[in-house]
Amino acid sequence: MSHIDSAPSTPGKVKMEKSSYFFTRGGGARWHYSLAKLTVWSFAFLALILIFFLRSPAPSAITSAADPSRRSLRNYNWGGSAWEKRVRASARARSSNGLTVLVTGAAGFVGTHVSSALKRRGDGVLGIDNFNDYYDPSLKRARQALLERTGVFIVEGDINDEALLRKLFEVVPFTHVMHLAAQAGVRYAMENPGSYVHSNIAGFVNLLEVCKSVNPQPAIVWASSSSVYGLNTKVPFSEKDRTDQPASLYAATKKAGEEIAHTYNHIYGLSLTGLRFFTVYGPWGRPDMAYFFFTKDILKGKQIAIFEAANHGTVARDFTYIDDIVKGCLGALDTAEKSTGSGGKKRGPAQLRVFNLGNTSPVPVSELVSILERLLKVKAKRNIMKLPRNGDVQYTHANISYAQRELGYKPTTDLQTGLKKFVRWYLNYYSDGKKAVE
């Protein structure tokens, strides 16, 4: 009978049996025989460990196929001298007083526009994005190609990858982080709640952990959301209002982000500015947003669902054109004060801000559809439905006086003008039939 056959089921007991065998019953020859056997097994065990380490991926390529919310941490290739050279070149500012900005979520809608605007004015920009498939990744790849032409390199990786973030800060001492990577969308949160925790909470904390410990600490500007106003009914929404009634898990994770930002500012002296974006739209936009899929469905002759609140109440949004949002982001970066900590320790009070970035003129969703009908020259098949309780709120309206005062933020594009630009881009982008929209 082998010793495995006789092994008891609990590990504690194995230990006990072994000690009694060796010390109370064993004679000299048997003791030597057992020692030899033990040595052979130890070598076999060590060999197995060695094989395991040789076959397992590098720390930069953690595989987590079993957990779909962490799928984005798989198989990224980074590192090496050619890669570092690209990182450095992309992050190099044209002038000595230019900013050096790490843009997370750079292949996203807002990230692409902000990265390209920063690069155009001479700042150094490096992007990071995990290119997840929440929506068609080919659109993210097309944005990446666009940025590449302007000299912006997007590192493919996840903000949860601490080793990667540390490496990036080792290669480039970023003065600023523009943090836009997140799991967006309110309805998808009921389908995949883990992805919101992964990107919006764990990812944000990981990023802040790295930022607090590097020297010098960067100043951080990050995207919160108008959704933090949740079920509030007092309009326009002001930064001074309470934000404790989120209507979706997405909103709750953004609200959590604001509290987490407060903590890292308080403990480590990180300079943190949160921007509450109000329904951003425009060219290269997000296919999961109403203006985008309405356009697609109207062109296909498909019925579109237009929601109304109780008692035929109007559902309206403070639609904000992407160029205005970009100006707000740049204003926030330019007015961000330096972080005050070093080596993970706070040295004095640091800046902590939250701004609304909206358009201050809510438009009913039915009016959005009418504008699209005129621009597309196609009549929409409207299906009026009751607003479901799955995350959407009835009304958003930003008070932007604080951003106006502090950032010089002044939106200039009305919905008609902005949608015209979006529709022109949409028709051009999807016209050749190659980029089929699902």
Ligand X SMILES: NC(=O)c1ccc[n+]([C@@H]2O[C@H](COP(=O)([O-])OP(=O)(O)OC[C@H]3O[C@@H](n4cnc5c(N)ncnc54)[C@H](O)[C@@H]3O)[C@@H](O)[C@H]2O)c1
Helices (H), 11-80: 11-20, 28-55
> Which stretch, 26-34, 54-62, 109-117, 378-386, contacts ligand X (CB under 6 A)?
109-117
| Shortest spacing between CB 397 and ligand X, in angstroms | 14
> Which stretch, 58-66, 104-112, 395-403, 404-412, contacts ligand X (CB under 6 A)?
104-112
Nearer to ligand X, 93 or 165 (CB): 165
Contact 301, 382 (CB under 8 A): no
Q: Which of 76, 105, 330, 355 binds ligand X (CB under 6 A)?
A: 105
Count CB-CB contacts under 10 A for residue 183. 24
Residue 56 corresponds to which amino acid? S
Contact 186, 391 (CB under 8 A): yes
| Shortest spacing between CB 223 and ligand X, in angstroms | 3
> Which stretch, 95-103, 106-114, 164-172, 384-392, contacts ligand X (CB under 6 A)?
106-114
Residues 6+ apart with CB under 8 A from 197: 69, 253
Nearer to ligand X, 184 or 336 (CB): 184
Q: Which of 100, 108, 264, 283 binds ligand X (CB under 6 A)?
A: 108
Sign of CA dihedral 104, 105, 110, 115: positive
Angstrom distance (rounded) from CA 295 to CA 243: 32
| Shortest spacing between CB 211 and ligand X, in angstroms | 15
Give the x-and-dash track for 43-72 against ligand X (CB under 6 A).
-----------------------------x
| Shortest spacing between CB 129 and ligand X, in angstroms | 5
| Shortest spacing between CB 436 and ligand X, in angstroms | 19
# residues contacting ligand X (CB under 6 A): 29
For residues 229-288, which are near ligand X according to CB under 6 A?
A: 277, 279-280, 286
* Closest by Cα among 181, 182, 176 to 154: 181
Does 129 sit near ligand X (CB under 6 A)?
Answer: yes
- Find the helix or strand (DSSP H, E) in which 177 lies: strand 176-179
| Shortest spacing between CB 192 and ligand X, in angstroms | 12
Nearer to ligand X, 132 or 351 (CB): 132
Residues 6+ apart with CB under 8 A from 265: 271, 272, 350, 351, 352
For the record, the structure tokens of 295 come out as 């356009």
Nearer to ligand X, 179 or 346 (CB): 179
Chain centre to alpha carbon of residue 8? 49
> Which stretch, 46-54, 174-182, 370-378, 424-432, contacts ligand X (CB under 6 A)?
174-182
The catalytic site residues sit at 250
Angstrom distance (rounded) from CA 356 to CA 317: 14
- Find the helix or strand (DSSP H, E) in which 354 lies: strand 352-357
Nearer to ligand X, 268 or 284 (CB): 284
* Closest by Cα among 388, 358, 327, 402 to 227: 358
Residue 265 corresponds to which amino acid? N
| Shortest spacing between CB 103 and ligand X, in angstroms | 10
Angstrom distance (rounded) from CA 355 to CA 406: 9
Q: Which residue is nearest to ligand X (CB)?
A: 108
Backbone angles phi, psi at 175, to 5 degrees: -85, -30
Q: Which of 87, 93, 99, 107 binds ligand X (CB under 6 A)?
A: 107
Nearer to ligand X, 135 or 340 (CB): 135
Task: Respond yes or no on whether the N-terminal peptide bond of residue 364 is cis (omega within 30° of 0).
Answer: no
Give the x-and-dash track for 189-208 against ligand X (CB under 6 A).
----------x---x-----
Q: Using CB under 6 A as the criterion, which residues of the chain lie in contact with ligand X when the complex forms?
A: 72, 105, 107-111, 128-132, 140, 158-160, 180-184, 199, 203, 223, 225, 277, 279-280, 286
